[in-house]
Amino acid sequence: MSDPVAPGPGRNPAPAAGPRIPASVSLPELTPKALTLGIVLSMALASANAYLGLFAGMTVSASIPAAVISMAVLRLFRRSNILENNLVQTAASAGESLAAGVIFTIPALVILGYWQHFDYWETTMIAALGGVVGVFFTIPLRRALIVDQPLRFPEGVATAEVLQSGEEGGKSVWYLAVAALIGGSFKFGEAGLNLWSATYEKARYVGNTVLYGGSNLSPALLAVGYIVGLNIAVLVFAGGAISWFIGIPIWLAQHGHGAIPTDQAGAADAANWIWSNYIRYMGIGAMVVGGLWALVNLRGSLVMGIQSGLRTFRAGSEGGEGIPRTERDVPMHYVLWAIAFSVVPLFFVYLYVVKVVGVALLMAVLMIIAGFLFSAVAGYMAGLVGSSNNPISGVTIATILSASLLLVALMGTGSHVGPSAAIFIGAVVCCAAAIAGDNMQDLKAGHILGATPWKQQTAQVLGTVTAAFVMAPVLTLLQKGYGIGEPTLSHPNPLTAPQATLMASVAKGVFHGGLPWGMAFIGAVIAVLIIAFDQVQASRGASFRAPVLAVAVGIYLPIELSVPIFFGGVIAHFAKRFQMSRGAARDPEIEGASDRNGLLFASGLITGEALVGILLAVPLVAAGRNIFAIFEAPPFAWPGVILLFGVMAALLWSATSGTRRR
């Protein structure tokens, strides 16, 4: 599924026949105030999404919230225009996308033990160069995917619609601000004041097996479910149900209580131990099959897009006279030089890791090939079904698995740096693919509005590079404050980092064994069955589809994270139906405003909780303890917390269903 998730309940209206701002009209775009605001938002949204991705295995699309904030802030200046606002969201959304590429891979280096902490310059270099390569890989594909092919690019179209409805920007920003305050307060009450626990869980032994149920009480997860919509939320929960309600009971029934360590004898501890050591590896098999299926499914359109892009390369367009302003990309010779320049420092990073020139050169070549291929896949998928089904995790796992098998042949199974070398390759590819999908969405919005492509591409590069500089400090704060990956004595409830943990498991399993290949095979079979079901649904023209990567993520996530995501999807569905019953179906203005208000409120909940979570890590690191805690143990029982969580859901419902014509 989309590693960055996209608006589920919103509309995707068809764009107008021509751009809003004709090519003959030139408005200020790449202005100092737009760049400054875009860069600040890029760093802030990168930080927030780093927390969310490590926590829940997902990030959220930042284009629409950034567009609304831009409209509210730039309105304070005497002169601003729609193309400046578009440039702000272009730069800002780069941070969110880069965060996905980073947190899905680079924490694996700490989980593997290659790093004890996040190396600042290596992390920054991998993130910045991988992201910049992703931007430049998509430049030759812009015309092929945005102009020549009738792809939807739902987030890009929705962002353009929001910007064209700019008169609502000043009011809509309050949905973001109020929700951020609520989400941040909830997080401070739980993680700061220690008023309640973040998770409620119950488990009991039944005969020779175990039954488990639980939920995380996070507003951010509720909001994630709202944003992705009911279809994806149901699939994520279904994946969790496969693991926790079917896989764990069957495993324990087969192996017996004697297979459980004595210090994990409690029912809840036993369920978590079985999931951590065995069942979650089904997600690896499902992810690999899902990524390969995405490539097979896209083969025809992907080849067409790459061929069209290569024709543009050969044409060598320099963006000079005779080319309309709205079709001027960064000149192709600059693109080639930028890619070549990026490969050189990456080669030396790889050489520092493996100490062998030939292997480092092979890694660099493999990175370029996989990076271009998967950037094209990400760009096409973003246009086809939006970010919510962009196979970033799947293609990254496929990259790491392929790289690991190739490196094993060169370095042997006993290599202690082999798994880390594979992660370094996957990290660059993942950053490139994440940025590529986001870049194409932004360029689609710009195409509708009449923006200048090379200016958007410049903003994307600047947003990517500046966001890269905050990634290592944020990851370090989160590692020291909460822990990342496996539980330890000092961090018994760490940020799970599901994708990074999975990447580490794949690389380590190929080199050193120990990977439960049987479980991975079962996951692969499940993925094949889901793909078959989805094909049946497609042939029937059914509205409910089953993208396999959504289920695969659910298999790999703890069920406690899937439950609030599911309820968020339910809220989105029924709030939408309620709004339609009140006449929104006959009034597109009400429907569009309702969708945007709900999306902005959900985005605010996520942003507030994530930023407070990061800020709380500062005193945890500095003082070595939670200085805000007023109770040693959370005093509020779970019914009170669930009631508070219900109030949060009601507010989210109200933001959507309460919209009326003004």
Q: Where are the domains of the chain?
A: 4-22+29-202+274-657
140, with CB counted inside 10 A (0-12, 13-18, 19+), is buried
DSSP letter (8 states) at residue 202: E
The more confidently predicted of residues 272 and 301 is: 272
| 3-state class (DSSP) for residue 618 | helix
What is the pLDDT averaged over residues 155-161? 76
Q: For the ranges 4-13, 169-178, 225-234, which has the lowest average pLDDT?
A: 4-13
DSSP letter (8 states) at residue 3: S
Strands annotated E in 196-286: 199-206, 209-216
Looking at residue 120, what is its pLDDT?
Answer: 93
Would you say residue 391 has pLDDT above 60?
A: no
Q: Write the CB contacts of 296 (distance below 8 Å, at least 6 apart in sequence).
A: none
State the Rg of the chain over Cα: 24
Q: Which residues of 51-61 are buried (b: 16+ CB within 10 A; e: fewer)?
A: bbbbbbbbbbb
Of residues 620, 612, 632, the one with CA closest to residue 186: 612
Contact call for residues 391 and 290 (beta carbons, < 8 A): yes
Q: Which residues pair with 211 in a beta bridge?
A: 204
pLDDT band at 342 (very low <50, low <70, confident <90, very high): confident
Instruction: Count CB-CB contacts under 10 A for residue 546.
Output: 22
Looking at residue 300, what is its pLDDT?
Answer: 66
Rounded CA-CA distance 585/589 in Å is 10
| 3-state class (DSSP) for residue 542 | coil
136, with CB counted inside 10 A (0-12, 13-18, 19+), is buried
The model's pLDDT over 16-39, given as tens digits with 9 standing for 90+, comes to: 456 888 888 888 999 999 999 999
Residue 3 has φ and ψ, to the nearest 5°, of -75, -45
* Element at 60 (helix H, strand E): strand 59-60
CA 359 and chain centroid, separation: 31
pLDDT band at 399 (very low <50, low <70, confident <90, very high): confident
Tokens 């739902």 sit at which residue? 154
Would you say residue 660 has pLDDT above 60?
A: no
Looking at residue 451, what is its pLDDT?
Answer: 92
The model's pLDDT over 510-531, given as tens digits with 9 standing for 90+, comes to: 888 777 888 989 999 999 999 9
Residue 306: both structure tokens together: 């790459």
What is the pLDDT averaged over residues 346-351? 88
What is the pLDDT averaged over residues 67-79? 83
CA 110 and chain centroid, separation: 20
Give 529-538's long-range contacts (Cβ < 8 A, gap of 24+): 530/286, 531/289, 531/293
Would you say residue 313 has pLDDT above 50?
A: yes
pLDDT band at 123 (very low <50, low <70, confident <90, very high): very high
Rounded CA-CA distance 40/46 in Å is 10
pTM exceeds 0.85: no
The model's pLDDT over 356-369, given as tens digits with 9 standing for 90+, comes to: 888 889 888 888 88
